[in-house]
Structure 1
Amino acid sequence: MEDDKKVVIGIDLGGTKAAGGLFRLKGALLTKRVKKLEGRTGEAVGVLIVDLINGLLRIAKEEGLQVTAIGICVPGIYNEIDNTVWAPNIPGWEEFRLKEVIEQGMSAARIPVAIDNDRSCSILAEVWKGKAKGCRHALFVTVGTGIGVGIWANGMVLNGAHGIAGSIGWMGMDVALSSTDRQRGNLEQYASGSGISSHAAKLLEESPGVESSLRRIPKKALSAEDVFKAYQANDPIAVSALETAIAYWGVFAANLISTFNPEKIIFGGGVFGPASQFMDKIISVSEQWAQPISFGKVSIEASTLEGDAGLVGAGYLALKSLKNKV
């Protein structure tokens, strides 16, 4: 079959929904479908992914297209040795055999299935269709509820011995860690989306005399989005919380520059977005702390792929699985 009739399927699984798409081999997204998890757990989430794949297989068949591979981005850790997924936000996915469920449930036989974590899929997306195109050494920093890093080194994804490399939210940024910091690493405690909102809530408690519009929001409902909105109005609590996050992002980026000597560091995820306005400040902080020669040769940028990084990366993961077999 001609290459223009060949496609791959990409699946991006998140904590609340799964997105799927058909991609041409050169990267064009032909169709996209989204299914909400709606409280599903365990095996039911696997069934939903199978249904999503089978729906895309039907569309491909109707269009006279041949699906040659499937790539799946998962929000956690994929253990390629025993083919299990650990996804902390999906109950019942402590050692879930996703690949086995898909291979048994999909309507077409003998289509290769590749799985990887969301950190690695995000950097693959940037290499394929984003800011890291043409790079052999690049990092994708995803800042959302947590923080992770996709590592592209010598033209390959670096996952580590057990698929856990890049779980950088656990990094300690201060030797004087609190008990809470030691549980999760204080990078994530102050510079993730959830960390920004919890830090703002802590500042509200510690500064009862400081006027802030954030006091009108119940503590449990306070979000990073609320903090960003308040920042635009020069709210002192929001300014303090985000200045702390900026400092952490800058020092963290400097540590990555000194450790990996990348060509590019790309910030993305749900928080970038709104935090992309701070790129100049992040770069300025980073310059103060990074190895100077390495800093002089790196570009620090915000992603332009927005919410499709995981889906695009899953598509490229499928394509790479074909190339690796050639």
Structure 2
Amino acid sequence: MAVIAFDLGGTKLATALFSDTGDVLLNETIQLQQRKGTEVGALIVQQVKHFREEALKFETTIHAFSICIPGIAYAKTGHVWAPNIPGWEKYPLRKELEGALSDSNVAIYIDSDRACYILAEVWKGSARGCSDAIFLNVGTGIGAGILSGGQVLRGNGDIAGAIGWMSLQHPFDNKYSACGCFEYNASGAGLVRVAKDFMKEKKFSKSPLYKSAEDDITAKNIFDGYNENDQLSIMVINNA
């Protein structure tokens, strides 16, 4: 038996075929490339069909699909909210997946990436044997998977661990409304946002970052600049 798992981020969709012992049989990553709304849903369905076909080569039976969402998965409705994916406010993901699997009795599991990360660490990673642990993820966004007393802490509205929304600066600035203060400043996408903010103010105008087109600046550029003692990059990292 095997499962197909999807890790949806703000910029990419990673898909893997796992054996029931957790071994990776096949994996693939696709960039979202500015896809939004139903376009992202269609990409997931496309990968569902593709990996079902690929699984036949391993002569294994698929008994479950799982997908982790960079936001909130509402268990009662099957809807999801992912702030870094335009058009994914109360998106009916479960209904879409059920439509793609209408010929199958395969189970479907949808959860937040925070919950999935900590569950994976408990099963196969550094948190094996632990009843209390925290997994901190910093990518396009920022989130924490929290294990307490052997159970994933979900909180009111399934939003526990969405630490990107922590209010770290006062007074509140409206620019934090879309993704939260912590995430605005310290996530991968946040570092780029802050760098662009500083560049608009002409901070450290001799920085190599000014030589890049605005849309070409990445978090990697900023970390590389930090290591090369670029003062603008240092300011961005210190701000985070």
Larger radius of gyration: 1
Report the residue type matching 1:123 in the other structure.
I
Which residue does 2:78 correspond to in 1?
Answer: 83
**Structure 2: distance between partners of 1:141 and 1:133:** 16
What's the CA shift string for 1:134-177, capped at 9, x where partnerless?
22211121112221111122222222232222211111123444
2:150 alignment partner in structure 1: 155
Matched, 1:49 2:36: no
Alignment equivalent of 2:9, drawn from 10, 14, 28: 14
Q: 1:214 aligns with which of 201, 204, 209?
A: 209
RMSD in angstroms over aligned alpha carbons? Answer: 2.7
Contact 2:10 2:141 (8 Å CA) reproduced: no
Q: Could you tell me the TM-score, scaled by structure 2's length?
A: 0.85
Structure 1 contact 54–107 (Cα < 8 Å) conserved: no
Which residue of the partner structure matches residue 138 of structure 1?
133
Aligned to 2:19: 24
Q: How many Å separate the matches in 1 of 2:157 and 2:165?
A: 16
The two structures have a TM-score, normalised by structure 1, of 0.64
Structure 2 residue 32 is matched with structure 1 residue 70? no
Instruction: Pick the aligned partner of 2:163 from 152, 163, 168.
Output: 168
Whether the aligned pair in 1 keeps the contact of 2:83 and 2:179 (CA below 8 Å) is: no
Does structure 1 residue 120 correspond to structure 2 residue 115? yes
- Write the distance in 2 (CA, Å) between the matches of 1:97 and 1:189: 27
Shift of 1:71: 1.1
Distance in structure 1 (CA, Å) of the matches to 2:179 and 2:37: 25
Please state whether the residue corresponding to 2:158 is helix, strand or coil: coil
Query: Identity rate of aligned residues, in percent?
Result: 39
SS of residue paired to 2:47: helix
Query: When the two structures are aligned, how many residues end up with a matched partner?
Result: 240
Unaligned runs of 5+ in 1: 1-5, 246-326
Q: Deviations over 1:94-145 (max 9, x none)?
A: 2222212222222652111110112222222222222222222111211122
Bigger Cα displacement from structure 2, 109-118 vs 95-104: 95-104
Distance in 2, matches of 1:102 and 1:72, equals 10
Residue of structure 1 equivalent to 2:89: 94
2:235 equivalent in structure 1 = 240
1:235-277 CA distance string (max 9 Å, x none): 22222221232xxxxxxxxxxxxxxxxxxxxxxxxxxxxxxxx
Q: Give the Å deviation of 1:84.
A: 0.7
Q: Using the TM superposition, give the Cα deviation of residue 228 of structure 1 relative to its aligned residue in structure 2, in angstroms.
A: 1.0
The code of the aligned residue for 1:125 comes to: A
Instruction: For structure 2, list consecutive stretches of 5 or more residues without a partner in the other structure.
Output: none
1:182 Cα deviation (Å)? Answer: 6.4
With over 3 angstroms needed to count, the CA separation of the structure-2 counterparts of 1:208 and 1:173, relative to structure 1, is closer
1:101 to 1:228, Cα distance in 2 relative to 1, 3 A = same
1:206-227 residue CA offsets vs partner (Å, 9 max, x unmatched):
5656643333234454332221
What residue in structure 2 maps to residue 194 of structure 1? Answer: 189
Q: Does 1:226 align with 2:230?
A: no
Find the aligned partners of 2:41 and 2:237 in 1 and give their Cα distance. 38
Structure with the higher helix share, 1 or 2: 1
How many angstroms apart in 1 are the aligned matches of 2:203 and 2:55? 59
- Aligned 8 A contact 2:11 2:140 in 1: no
TM-aligned CA distance change 1:220 to 1:36, over 3 Å: closer
Structure 2 partner of 1:103 = 98
Cα deviation, 1:46-80, whole Å, max 9, x if unaligned, reads 33323322332233344331222221112221111
Deviation at 1:40, TM superposition (A): 4.5
- Post-superposition offset of 1:10: 0.9
Relative to structure 1, the CA distance from residue 126 to residue 203 in structure 2 (aligned partners, 3 Å threshold; closer, same or farther) is same
Distance 2:112 2:165 in 1: 17
Cα displacement (A) at 1:28: 0.5
Q: Report the AA paired with residue 130 of structure 2.
A: C
Residues 258-297 of structure 1 mapped to structure 2, 5 A cutoff: none
Distance 2:9 2:204 in 1: 40
